[in-house]
């Protein structure tokens, strides 16, 4: 029975990967067709002629995005009494990035990251608390960057079309609500576990599960671990502040990539702030979209925002190359690292 469930999970992941790959191909083809002069060969020529230093900064910024998530998780785990090395942190990060990209939810990578943590001997309760705290800071950091962008450039919202603006407003609302929900779960963990216990009893009454004792004991044990960690964090504001700063830096490193790509293609340095602030709002707009990697939507938002401050062909180039670095290249590498981590970990467990 266990093997059947594991096979079903693997099949779902493979299907999501194939669906995401197909969606990526269709998205790139649609964008290149929209720009009649664009082809993959032409795009490769543009990249080869671009300023190598700025392009390298874009790539390094994306790598930093992945590494900073690993650092954030390691800091939280260390505070919980479960220190882990850089390699472990990298696997926790890459698995989150990869599965978040190929599933409809932006939080789709959390179970994958949890899988590796639990396999490394971290209790379920601690794992849940660590991931909720990091996700809470991750969400809050996006909202903070969006608010700062509007404060710095109040006119920024006028730089988007009628279809983009509603997505930005809805994104702001959804992410703010999501952040509040995470805070409530983190602060009121006892209610969270109480509801899980009620669910177990309900399943027992409906005869879906035969023996409720084992899952109830499991929940009580993990509730203690969860509560002890959340109590520790609530009494240590330094951890929360450090994790929030790292998450802000993580988001900033990713948002800066279109700026570096724009410079690499010969763009004006004076446009740096406007591109950065636009990308902050674009990130907010597509983060709640229930499509793997928000493919298609994020591309449209970037083109809509950038084409109002630069020529259309430049906007197409910046969008395609920046998304190529921050999404397609990043996801492919993260997927490969996650696969290697999974295989190596499985071999160690067998030994």
pLDDT digits (tens, 9 = 90+) for 15-65: 655 655 665 565 556 555 555 565 667 778 888 999 999 999 999 999 999
CA distance 346 to 351: 9
Asked whether the beta carbons of 329 and 138 are under 8 A apart, the reply is no
Q: For residue 80, is pLDDT > 50?
A: yes
Which pLDDT belongs to residue 3?
44
Could you tell me which residue, 54 or 344, shows the higher pLDDT? 54
Res 336 pLDDT > 90: yes
Share of the chain above pLDDT 70, in %: 83
Q: Give, for 342, the enclosing helix (H) or strand (E).
A: helix 330-350
Spatial separation of the C-alpha atoms in residues 25 and 32, rounded to whole Å: 11
Q: How far apart are CA 49 and CA 63, in angstroms?
A: 23
Between 106 and 159, the higher pLDDT residue: 159
Residue ranges of domains in the chain: 2-350
Average pLDDT, the chain: 84
- Average pLDDT value for residue range 122-126: 87
Higher per-residue pLDDT: 287 or 153: 153
Which pLDDT band, with edges at 50, 70 and 90, does 173 fall under? very high
**What's the pLDDT band for 94 if we cut at 50, 70, 90?**
very high
What is the arithmetic mean of pLDDT over 212-230? 77
Residue 303 pLDDT greater than 50, yes or no = yes
Cα radius of gyration (the chain): 22
Query: What pLDDT score does 106 carry?
Result: 58
Contact 189, 230 (CB under 8 A): yes
State both tokens at 96: 């989150």
Q: Does 178 have pLDDT greater than 80? A: yes
As a whole number, mean pLDDT of residues 119-138 equals 88
Asked if 286 and 301 touch (Cβ cutoff 8 Å), the reply is yes
Q: What is the pLDDT of residue 216?
A: 84
């Amino acid at each position: 029975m266990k093997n059947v469930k594991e096979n079903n999970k693997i099949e779902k992941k493979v299907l999501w990967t194939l669906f995401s790959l197909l969606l990526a191909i269709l998205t790139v083809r649609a964008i290149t067709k929209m720009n009649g002069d664009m082809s993959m060969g032409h795009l490769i020529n543009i990249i080869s002629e671009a300023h190598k230093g700025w392009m390298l900064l874009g790539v390094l910024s994306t790598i930093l995005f992945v590494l900073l998530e690993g650092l954030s998780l390691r800091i939280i785990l260390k505070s919980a009494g479960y220190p882990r090395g850089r390699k472990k942190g990298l696997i926790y990060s890459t698995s989150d990035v990869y599965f978040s990209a190929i599933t409809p939810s932006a939080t789709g990578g959390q179970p994958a990251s949890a899988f590796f943590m639990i396999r490394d001997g971290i209790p379920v309760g601690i794992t849940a608390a660590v991931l909720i705290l990091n996700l809470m800071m991750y969400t809050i950091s996006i909202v903070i960057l969006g608010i700062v962008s509007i404060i710095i450039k109040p006119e920024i919202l006028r730089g988007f079309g009628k279809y983009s603006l509603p997505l930005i407003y809805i994104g702001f609302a959804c992410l703010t609500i999501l952040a509040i929900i995470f805070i409530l779960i983190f602060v009121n963990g006892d209610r969270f576990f109480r509801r899980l216990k009620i669910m177990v009893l309900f399943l027992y009454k409906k005869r879906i599960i035969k023996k409720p004792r084992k899952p109830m004991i499991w929940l009580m044990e993990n509730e203690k671990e969860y509560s002890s960690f959340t109590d520790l964090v609530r009494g240590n504001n330094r951890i929360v502040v450090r994790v929030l700063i790292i998450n802000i830096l993580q988001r900033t490193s990713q948002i800066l990539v279109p700026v570096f790509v724009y410079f690499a293609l010969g763009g004006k340095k004076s446009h740096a702030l406007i591109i950065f602030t636009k990308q902050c709002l674009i990130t907010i707009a597509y983060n709640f979209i229930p499509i793997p990697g928000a493919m298609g939507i994020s591309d449209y938002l970037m083109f809509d925002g950038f084409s109002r401050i630069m020529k259309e062909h430049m906007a197409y180039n910046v969008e395609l190359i920046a998304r190529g670095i921050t999404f397609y290249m990043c996801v492919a590498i993260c997927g490969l690292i996650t696969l290697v981590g999974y295989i190596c970990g499985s071999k160690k467990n067998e030994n």
